[in-house]
Amino acid sequence: MNKKLKLVGKILLWALAGVVVLLLALPLWIGPVVKGVANTVVPRITGTDFHLGEFGLNPYTGTLHVGDMQLANPTNFSEKNAVDLKAFDVDFAMTSLLFGKKYRVEFVEVNGIFIHSDFPKGDNFMQILENATGGEVEPEAETQEVEQPKVEPEAPKAEETAKSAESEQAEEKESKGVQIDRITLKDVTIKYGLPVKIPMDIELTGIGAESEYGASFSEVWDDVFTKVKSVLTSVGGAVGDLGKSAAGAIKDAGGAAADALSNAGGAAADALKGAGEGIKNIFK
Q: List CB contacts of 216: < 8 A, sequence separation 6 or more.
A: 175, 177, 178, 274
d(C-alpha 213, C-alpha 31), whole Å: 31
Q: Which 3 state secondary structure label does DSSP give 112?
A: strand
Which of 127, 113, 133 shows the shortest CA–CA distance to 74?
127
In contact, 113 and 184? CB cutoff 8 Å: no
pLDDT of residue 201: 85
Distance CA 59, CA 169 (A): 32
Give the model's pLDDT for residue 161.
59
The kind and range of the H/E element at 250 are helix 237-260
**CB-based contact 279:253 (threshold 8 Å):** yes
Domain ranges of the chain: 27-140+175-282
**Does the predicted model carry a pTM greater than 0.85?**
no
Per-residue pLDDT of the chain (284 residues), as tens digits, is 666 666 666 567 667 666 666 666 666 678 899 999 999 999 999 999 999 999 999 988 899 999 999 999 998 888 999 999 999 999 999 888 888 899 999 999 999 999 888 876 668 888 888 888 874 434 334 434 445 555 555 555 556 655 565 555 555 445 889 999 999 999 988 887 777 777 678 899 999 999 999 998 888 888 887 887 777 776 655 555 565 565 555 445 544 444 444 444 444 445 444 444 444 443 34
